[in-house]
Amino acid sequence: MSDTESAPGQIEWRLPRERELRLWAGVVLFAFVTTHLLNHALGVFGVATMEAVQRWRIWAWQSYGGTALLYGALLTHATLALKRLTTRRISRMPLEELVQIALGLAIPYFLISHVMGTRITSLYGYSESYGEVLARIWQGGPAKQILLLLCAWTHGCIGIGQVLRSRSFYARWRDLLVLGTGMLPTLALAGFFSASRELEAAGRTPSPIAADHTMALLVAGQWLLLGLAAVIAFVALVMILRVLLRLRSGTVAIRYVGHGTFKIPRGTTVLEASRANAIPHPAQCGGRGRCSTCRVAVTSDASALPSPSKAERTMLERISAPANVRLACQLRPDHDISVQILLPIVPTGMRGRSGDDLYRWGAEREITALFVDIRAFNAMTRLQIPYDIVLLMNRFVQEMTQAAEAHGGRVDAFAADGLIAIFGLGDEPSRGAADAIRAARGMLKSVEGLNTEFGAALSIPLRVGIGIHSGPAIIARVGDSERGMRLVALGDTVTIAGRLEAATKDYLTDCLISEEAMQRSGMSLRRQNGKHLHIVGRDKPITLYTLEETPVPAE
C-alpha cells in the first residue's frame, strides 16, 4: 500500500512525511513552551529580571521569522494531530496516550483565555510586559494559567519521551531528563508566584480595560470557544463515520501464536487488534512507526498483504527484517492472517537490570508456577506417525512459550509433553499470579487453534491440563558453563502446580488454580464446593478454582 492508499473501509489521506512534519512542529512548540517556562522561573529573582530576559525571548519569537515559525508549527501540529486522532481506536489505548490526547484537547481551551489576556489585548494598545500581564492574571485568578502550563508541559514531555525512548542514549540520560522535566515547571510556578506577590506587595495593579474593549474581548472569546467546539464536534463526527465504515467493510480474523484467534473490523491495525483484545504487545513509540518493538512475524502467506508504507519500509530495512516481518502498528490486514509477536513485554521490575544475575547463588522469591501438560500424550505417540508428533510438539511448545512470555512469564523447563513457566520475578507477587491466569487463558485459546489446524491429522483432539499455584520458591541459575545455565524454580510451589495439573483429569477440567494463587491475583474469589486436593505433607487440603469460573480483568 502506498503512502496515500487506504485499506477497505478507511478514509485515508496522508501527506508526504506527515509523521516528521507533526514531530518537528511539536518540537518547535515545545521549545517555545520551554523558553516561556525558563523566563517564568526567573521570577524568583524579581520582576525586573523577568523583564530583561523577556526582551530576548520576544526578539526570538515575535520577530517576523519567529512568528511565522511559531504559528506555522501550531497550525501544522494541531491539524495533523487531529487528523491522526480520527484514525485512532480509543479502545484499549495505553493510558499514556490517552492522557496525552486529553491534555492536547484541553490546551486550546485554557489557551484561549491566555491569548485574550496577552496578544489580543495588545491589539488595543495595552502593554504585554510581565508586570502588566502578571498583575492582570493575579487579579483575575491564576488557576487557568497554571493548568495551561501543566497541560502544555506534560503533553509535550509525553510526546518527546515517546520519540527519545527508542534512542540508544535515552537509557543513560533518562533519570536526568526526568529530573529536568519535573524541576522546570516547579521553578516556573515558583517564579510566577514570587513575581506576582512582589507586584501585589508594591501595590501595582493592571491598567483598567475600557468597557467597549472588554465587550469586544468577551465576544472574541465566545467566538473562539465556539470555533473550538465546532472543531471537536467535526473530529468526533469523522471518528464515528470511520467506525461505521469499518463495521460495514466486514471483518478479518487474526490468529496470534500463543493467544488464539480474534475477529477484527477490516482496516484495523494488528497493534490496535492486540490492544482491543488485551493481548500484551510492546510498542515503545506508542504505535507511531518510530521503532520496531511492535514487529510481528506473519506465519501465514504474507505475499498478499498490503505493501509497507514508506515509513514502515524504512524501519524494516533499518533492522534488516525478513520478508515476513511487519510492524504491527502499520499493518492493516485485508484478509485472514496468522502472526507471532516477536518481542515480549519486559516486566516493570526487570527493566534496566539483568534478572539472571540476581539469582546466581539462589534467592527465595514469592512466585506463581504454571504447569501445562498434554493429555493422553502416550496414546497420541502410538497412534500418530513420528513426523506429525514432532511437528505438533514444536508448534505446541511455540504456542505455550509465547503465551507465557507475553504475560511476563519465563519458561523454566520443558518436559516431553509439557512445560513449566514461572511468573512474578519482575513484579509484585499479585501481578505474577494474575499474569499466570491470563497466560493460562491464552494457552487454552491456542489449543483450540491447534485443534482446528491439525484436526484432520490428529487421531484424538488435543487437550491440555494446567495447574497454577503461588508460594515461595528458590530461584537459581542451574547448569554448567559448558552446556549453559538455566534459570529454574525449586521447591514445593512448583511441585504443587504439577499436582494440580495432574488433578485436572480427576476433576474433568482444563485448568485448576489454588486458593493461594487466586488470593494473590486480586481477582474475584468464588469457592467451588467439594473441590479440594489433599497433598502429603500439608496440614490442610488445597481449595481449587477452575479457570472457566474465574473472571479475568483487563490489564
pLDDT for 5: 41
Per-residue pLDDT of the chain (555 residues; tens, 9 = 90+): 334 344 444 434 444 477 788 889 999 999 999 999 999 899 889 888 988 888 888 888 888 898 899 999 999 999 988 888 887 766 566 778 888 889 999 999 988 877 776 766 666 666 677 777 787 777 777 888 889 989 999 999 998 888 887 676 777 788 888 898 899 999 999 998 998 888 888 877 777 777 777 787 788 888 888 999 999 999 889 888 887 887 787 889 999 988 888 988 888 889 988 888 888 888 877 777 778 888 899 988 888 888 888 888 888 888 888 888 999 988 989 889 999 888 776 554 444 444 455 555 567 788 999 999 998 887 877 777 777 788 888 888 888 998 998 888 888 877 767 899 999 887 566 788 999 999 999 999 899 888 887 776 777 888 899 999 999 988 887 776 666 667 788 888 999 999 999 988 888 888 999 989 988 888 775 566 667 888 877 778 888 888 764 444 444
CATH number of the domain where residue 448 is located? 3.30.70.1230
| Sole residue written with cell 527484517 | 321
Q: Are residues 376 and 496 in the same domain?
A: yes
Answer whether residue 48 is part of any domain.
yes
Percentage of the chain with pLDDT > 90? 19
66 forms beta bridges with none
CA-based R_g, the chain, Å:
29
SS3 content of the chain, % helix, strand, coil (to 5): 55, 15, 30
Answer whether residue 276 is part of any domain.
yes
pLDDT for 126: 67
Q: Are residues 305 and 404 in the same domain?
A: no
Q: Are residues 313 and 354 in the same domain?
A: no
Answer whether residue 445 is part of any domain.
yes
Amino acid at the residue 7: A
Residue 542: its H or E element: strand 542-546
476 forms beta bridges with 488
**Residues 50, 191: contact at Cβ < 8 Å?**
yes
Rounded CA-CA distance 194/190 in Å is: 6
Answer whether residue 321 is part of any domain.
yes
Q: Are residues 302 and 359 in the same domain?
A: no
- Provide the whole-model pTM: 0.61
Q: Are residues 309 and 356 in the same domain?
A: no
Q: Which residues of 127-151 are buried (b: 16+ CB within 10 A; e: fewer)?
A: eeebbbbbbbbbeeebebbbebbbb
Q: Are residues 352 and 328 in the same domain?
A: no
Q: Are residues 267 and 217 in the same domain?
A: no
CATH number of the domain where residue 116 is located? 1.20.1300
Answer whether residue 299 is part of any domain.
yes
Q: Are residues 424 and 503 in the same domain?
A: yes
| Sole residue written with cell 487454552 | 444
| Sole residue written with cell 533499518 | 318
Q: Are residues 390 and 494 in the same domain?
A: yes
Q: Are residues 222 and 284 in the same domain?
A: no
pLDDT for 542: 87
CATH number of the domain where residue 269 is located? 3.10.20.30
Domain boundary among 314, 341, 368: 341
**Residues 297, 324: contact at Cβ < 8 Å?**
yes
Answer whether residue 554 is part of any domain.
no
Amino acid at the residue 221: G
Angle at 335 between CA 333 and CA 338, to 5 degrees: 75
Domain boundary among 219, 247, 275: 247
Q: Are residues 510 and 400 in the same domain?
A: yes
Q: How many independent structural domains does the chain possess? A: 3
Domain range enclosing 304: 251-341
Q: Are residues 85 and 171 in the same domain?
A: yes
Answer whether residue 188 is part of any domain.
yes
Measure Cα distances from 487 to 25, 291, 355 in Å: 47, 30, 9
Domain boundary among 325, 341, 357: 341
Answer whether residue 31 is part of any domain.
yes
Amino acid at the residue 419: L
